[in-house]
A = this chain, B = another copy of it.
């Protein structure tokens, strides 16, 4: 099928699918989850082979993918996500009678989704972008990632089967394959209404530019990763030095460091930097090099490290092992806060298990860092409560630089729930107003529509008198169920 046909069918499917009842849409999503579960063995085998990720991880990722689908099925079934809002008429208002106005969210139309190489399941074919778009009522045209073509195609077939079993038009989901040109053509297509993307800055930004320069611009939700800085403070660090070093190293090296929330930057007070770097050094020695997703990513990782090894500002706490096949060796370099502040290059992401440890002296150093810091998916603070209370100005500034602020634990391991925010200020994403993980991800693919004086018989269920769906609504400014 050529793209015009694909989009035409998606658009035709949209005109039916957007009006599907919440129950039927939820049933369809659950059908996808069932089919993935039923094919767990085959999917895990394929995804492990294509991603070089271990079975435990892929099994867990499939569980998470299925969990996500169920979250959106529940959200759709419950129904309040449409933000139903009713301002009743007032025929007696002077000088002019007041009309009856009812507003709700309505899906945008066909959405183009690009999968991520580093999550062959949870951020790919039936991942968060696809499922939240389908949940909103948007057909999806999904471009399979060339790093895991078989997994992608197979999961795509599960979605298509779920459509068939649910007696829904095939155009609701289409799996396409291709390279950069295909991706650009998808975003350029006049019938595309939004784009979901997880991947590199260069690819995400280029799609953002294409979408903004269309005759009719469309939104691009691109999650492009970040360095996810951790700020450590002396009191807490002194108390938990070894466990914190260990949990840092394990977050850094998890999945060969191939996570959007991988902590590539850690700020350490000078008074403890030697002890902390020793503890890290000890923890990191035990971590063997692990295979990366593919040759190209391993090459980029080593290329970036080779360039950094030429920089005199860096002292290497852990020099990377020589490149062997597609394995990534963990690596860590120390730098003074003054040197770090002197060059933006030092906050560029190195995709893989490399981090920079920045040694600071004072609160003023950290304020300077916070002011210079690029937008991040996450920022983590390891501090005792009194330390946090003493650093109010810093925290206030850091809030402006991230989508999620952590006070315990590590940034990797993104919970899928209602409150998760996975999206931060540019350049971590192209749209800090959105999240690509968690329930609110559905809102990316909808827009409000208001109906004025629409006869009851024609109103969508969500807006009818008597609230037949039993959803939470804002009526005359008050929440009512």
Known: A87-B419, A385-B455. A99 touches B450 (CB 8 A): no
| A313 part of interface (Cβ distance < 8 Å) | no
Question: A417 — nearest CB in chain B belongs to which residue?
Answer: B87
The one of B74, B388, B403, B415 that contacts A455, using a Cβ cutoff of 8 Å = B388
In Å, the complex CA distance between A199 and B442 comes to: 31
| A316 part of interface (Cβ distance < 8 Å) | no
The one of B78, B103, B406, B474 that contacts A452, using a Cβ cutoff of 8 Å = B406
Residues of B within 8 A of A458 (CB): 385, 388-389, 395, 407
Known: A212-B217, A404-B451, A405-B450. 9 other contacts (CB 8 A): A98-B415, A101-B420, A103-B440, A109-B400, A216-B375, A385-B457, A405-B451, A407-B451, A433-B448
Are A419 and B74 in contact (CB-based, < 8 A)?
no
In Å, the complex CA distance between A208 and B217 comes to: 10
Are A103 and B407 in contact (CB-based, < 8 A)?
no
> How far in angstroms is the closest Cβ of chain B from A7?
14
Question: A214 — nearest CB in chain B belongs to which residue?
Answer: B426
Are A86 and B419 in contact (CB-based, < 8 A)?
yes
> How far in angstroms is the closest Cβ of chain B from A169?
14
The one of B80, B402, B453 that contacts A409, using a Cβ cutoff of 8 Å = B453
User: What are the 9 closest A-B residue pairs judged by CB atoms, nearest first?
Assistant: A421-B450, A408-B453, A103-B419, A87-B419, A212-B212, A87-B417, A406-B452, A101-B419, A85-B419
Question: A212 — nearest CB in chain B belongs to which residue?
Answer: B212
Residues of B within 8 A of A101 (CB): 415, 417, 419-420
Question: A453 — nearest CB in chain B belongs to which residue?
Answer: B408
In Å, the complex CA distance between A131 and B238 comes to: 48
| A38 part of interface (Cβ distance < 8 Å) | no
Taking Cβ atoms with an 8 Å cutoff, the residues of A that contact B are: 15, 19, 74, 78, 80, 83, 85-87, 96, 98-99, 101-103, 106, 108-109, 208-209, 212, 216-217, 219, 375, 385, 388-389, 395-397, 399-400, 402-409, 413, 415, 417-421, 423, 425-427, 430-433, 435, 439-440, 446-455, 457-458, 472, 474, 476-477, 479, 481
In Å, the complex CA distance between A184 and B62 comes to: 48
Are B472 and A448 in contact (CB-based, < 8 A)?
no
Residues of B within 8 A of A433 (CB): 219, 446-448
Are B399 and A455 in contact (CB-based, < 8 A)?
no
Known: A407-B454, A455-B407, A481-B479. A449 touches B399 (CB 8 A): yes
Known: A404-B452, A408-B452, A418-B474. A396 touches B19 (CB 8 A): yes
Residues of B within 8 A of A396 (CB): 15, 19
Most B CB contacts (10 A, CB to CB) among A419, A420, A426, A448 go to A419
User: 20 pairs across A/B with beta carbons < 8 Å?
Assistant: A15-B397, A78-B477, A98-B415, A99-B408, A101-B417, A103-B418, A108-B432, A208-B212, A385-B457, A385-B458, A403-B449, A404-B452, A405-B450, A405-B454, A418-B476, A419-B474, A423-B448, A425-B447, A435-B448, A440-B448
Are A457 and B389 in contact (CB-based, < 8 A)?
yes
Question: A97 — nearest CB in chain B belongs to which residue?
Answer: B409
> How far in angstroms is the closest Cβ of chain B from A219?
7
In Å, the complex CA distance between A130 and B390 comes to: 34
Question: A472 — nearest CB in chain B belongs to which residue?
Answer: B479
Residues of B within 8 A of A399 (CB): 106, 449
Question: A404 — nearest CB in chain B belongs to which residue?
Answer: B450
Residues of B within 8 A of A449 (CB): 399, 402-405, 421
Question: A446 — nearest CB in chain B belongs to which residue?
Answer: B433
> How far in angstroms is the closest Cβ of chain B from A192?
13
Are B216 and A103 in contact (CB-based, < 8 A)?
no
Residues of B within 8 A of A453 (CB): 406-409
Residues of B within 8 A of A431 (CB): 219
Are A85 and B418 in contact (CB-based, < 8 A)?
yes
In Å, the complex CA distance between A399 and B14 comes to: 12
> How far in angstroms is the closest Cβ of chain B from A13?
13
